[in-house]
Every structure is written in C-alpha cells, then in structure tokens.
Amino acid sequence: MGGKKRLTLSQAEKALMREAQKKEGKKEGKPKETARVEKKVAGVIPPSPRDDKIIKEIQKMKVLTPYAVASRFNLRLSIAKDFLEELHRQGVITYVSGGRYMKIYKPI
C-alpha cells in the first residue's frame, strides 16, 4: 500500500510558519472578507409586446435568442421564449433558424 508521501521543503516551511502563528494567536495577513453577491430573481411577467419602448430596444439587437432577451429584460428563459413567439405572431420579428430547443429571430 505504501506510506504517506513527504512534504516538499516549501510545504514543510509553510506548515511550520502556520503552527507558529497559531501558537502566537496572531495572523500576519488580514482575514479575507467574502463578498456577498445578491441574487436577483428573474421576472416572471414579460414586458408588453405592444410597448414602443420595448420594440425599439428589440430592434437595436442584431440577433434575438431567448437567452439574449432574458438577460436584457431580466426574465426567465421560458418567459423569454414565449415573449419571442408572441412578437413573431405580431410580425415585429422574423424567424431565422433554430431547432427544438432554441430559436433564433431577427428584427424586421
């Protein structure tokens, strides 16, 4: 089976330094502060497809994918897919390509 591998010289030195610091009760470096990231909940209610402001935003985009729309308007992906289908039915955007899981549109 074999025994435990030996530490390298630098690893052994660092371990000795850590033990010495623990005995002294001090730390030389500052304790690391963990940054708290606030998690934003994606919206469930899509924007109105008849709103001129929304249509202008969409026409600025070169390619419309569910992910691009979801990240731009802070929506869930499923809501973004439904939103794009509604815009396509209204004739604001045209279908370019896509498969079963993702569809690509472009503004008219």
Q: What is the pLDDT of residues 3-15, one digit of tens each?
A: 888 889 999 999 9
pLDDT class of 33 with cuts at 50, 70, 90: low
pLDDT class of 29 with cuts at 50, 70, 90: low
Question: Interior CA angle at 14 toward 8 and 16, to 5°?
Answer: 105
Q: What is the pLDDT of residues 47-66, one digit of tens each?
A: 888 888 988 999 999 999 99
What CATH code is carried by the domain that includes residue 56?
Answer: 1.10.10.10
Least Cα distance to 65 among 108, 16, 29, 106 occurs for 106
Residue 18 maps to a domain:
no
Name the domain count of the chain: 1
Percent of the chain having pLDDT more than 70? Answer: 91
Range of the domain at 65: 52-107
pLDDT of residue 26: 57
pLDDT class of 39 with cuts at 50, 70, 90: confident
DSSP state of 30: P
CB 102 within 8 A of CB 64: no
Residue 22 maps to a domain:
no
pLDDT at position 30 over 60: no
Distance separating alpha carbons of residues 108 and 106, to the nearest angstrom:
7
